[in-house]
Amino acid sequence: MNKDDYGEFDSLDELHEECGVFGIYDISGNDIASTIYYGLFALQHRGQESCGIAVSDTEGPAGNVKSHKGMGLINEVYDAGVLDKLKGNIGVGHVRYSTAGASNRYNIQPLVLNYLKGTLMLAHNGNLINAPRLRSELARTGAIFQTTIDTEVIAYLIARERLNTGSVEQAVIEAMKRLEGAYSLVISSPRKLIGARDPFGFRPLCIGKRDNAYILASETCALDAVGAEFVRDVLPGEVVVLNEKGIVSYTSMCGRDTKKCIFEYIYFARPDSYFDGISIYNSRIMAGRILAQMHPAEADIVVGVPDSGNAAAMGFAQESHIPYGVAFIKNSYVGRTFIKPKQAARESSVKIKLNVLKEVVKGKRVVMVDDSIVRGTTSERIVRMLKNAGATEVHVRISSPPFLYPCYFGTDVPSCDQLIAHNNTVGQICKMIGADSLGYLDGERLCELIGGDKGYCDACFSGNYPVKPPKDDIRGEYEK
């Protein structure tokens, strides 16, 4: 979304996560393309711009990879005929938004790399902050890049390290020593499925098992979708090898203080997922409870802005004892190809995706709970929609602190000048969006969303980056 290729749909001023990854190795030799398809379907919320599947047969000739990639949603790119041609029992899949690297077919993952030691299929979730420097170093020694994404930098590093190591997993470990930033990797060599998570653990990655098949996925909801049992999370800094021997773990990169992305819990992940033992749904319920404690309101009903605002609204209602209601009907069929052909259509974009149930809000004081305010344009439109539907008051509550700084680790939080909270007070924002009151989640209480754990990254709220941010914005084009 949000690219000139597909029109000017503003996606409700939403933030996007860079991507979701899925990999599977069926040791019994069964074809796995359809399993990857359904796994990616469950991860579609993590990337709606492009998708790809690459598979191979561990019993066939090494390097015989079959892949299919395209721009669009999973069900737009694949059908039964395409999947039937993807024969193989080991493979990798990917759904993507672009944060670093332009939006085009060349940048669709997974990448398939043929090199001296064989073939690699690689998918990446996250964003490297030292990718430009690494790319320049590799180019000076002869590397020829076919894409503009940092995933290709990772692939080249692994391939080069493999020339001097005894295994692919050792090459991954050596390559990780040079990577700075966020990366959860799913890699397939001809006979192994490998997962790797950066030492900070910015992005999630979990292991599942179904019959005689091992699975790697960004979220546990993808395991549920394919009937797999959750085994465990990949640890921050860990490399795992999944093959006929089971799970082989390498933890030489572990031990750093973790900095898991707190916004995964607030917004990105599906509410039925679990990260590092924490329920996303419970995290959002807790956010709503905290909002009710810190920013109570005299109101008749609490409503959530779909989808991630719903659970937080339920938490607010539980804590405040104000009835919870469903005030918004979401059109689930507005896909990435929705085009607004004329300037005059801009104002209708929110109404195309959301509509208000007048019977629910008419004559009532409403608490409206949402996950964030980025630029403020969408919040203003939704508040106006509620008041036009007859709400007498609209009290906005946000289940995250104000966005003050950009993110460089795989989330497209834009530059400071585009963030409404960077140059405006809460009171000013309240007036700008037309609300009767406005309250944000207190940054000091973010740890309560994940059971008191302080090992999270909140740089987009606090400016406290786990690693020094790059001097130049390397995250690509946003055009939001």
Q: What is the pLDDT of residues 151-204, one digit of tens each?
A: 999 999 999 999 999 999 999 999 999 999 999 999 999 999 999 999 999 999
Against a cut of 0.75, is the pTM above it? yes
Nearest to 280 by CA among 202, 220, 332: 220
Please report the pLDDT score of residue 348 as a whole number: 55
Does residue 186 sit in helix, strand or coil? Answer: strand
CATH topology of domain 4-258: Glutamine Phosphoribosylpyrophosphate, subunit 1, domain 1 (3.60.20)
Q: What amino acid occupies position 476? A: G
Euclidean distance between CA atoms 446 and 444, whole angstroms = 6
- Greatest mean pLDDT among 141-145, 255-259, 460-464: 460-464
CA separation for the pair 132, 140 (Å, rounded): 12
Ramachandran quadrant class, 49 (left: phi over 0; alpha: psi -120 to 50; beta: rest): alpha
**pLDDT band for position 24 (50/70/90)?**
very high
pLDDT at 13: 61
In this structure, what is the dihedral angle of CA atoms 424, 426, 432, 433, given to the nearest 10 degrees?
130
Structure tokens at 58: 């561990």
Report the SS3 class of residue 444.
helix
- For the chain, give the mean pLDDT: 90
Q: What is the pLDDT of residue 255?
A: 86
C-alpha 246/C-alpha 138 separation (Å) is 34
Residue 247 has pLDDT above 80, yes or no: yes
Domain with CATH 3.60.20.10 in the chain: 4-258
**Half-sphere exposure in the Cβ direction for 387 (13 Å, CA):** 14
Mean pLDDT across the stretch 217-226?
98
The phi and psi torsions of 265 (rounded to 5 degrees) equal: -75, -35
Mean pLDDT of 395-404: 97
pLDDT at 12 over 50: no
Q: Where in the chain is the domain with CATH 3.40.50.2020?
A: 275-462
Does domain 275-462 correspond to CATH entry 3.40.50.1970?
A: no
Please identify every residue annotated as catalytic.
19
Residues 357-370: tens digit of each pLDDT: 999 999 999 999 99
Residue 159: count of CB within 10 angstroms of its CB: 22
Q: Which of 273, 118, 289 is nearest to 188 (CA)?
A: 118
E strand intervals along 161-320: 184-189, 192-197, 206-210, 213-217, 229-233, 239-243, 246-250, 260-261, 274-275, 278-279, 301-304
pLDDT, position 340: 39
Q: Using CA atoms, how far apart are residues 128 and 144, in angstroms rounded to an integer?
A: 19
pLDDT at 315 over 80: yes
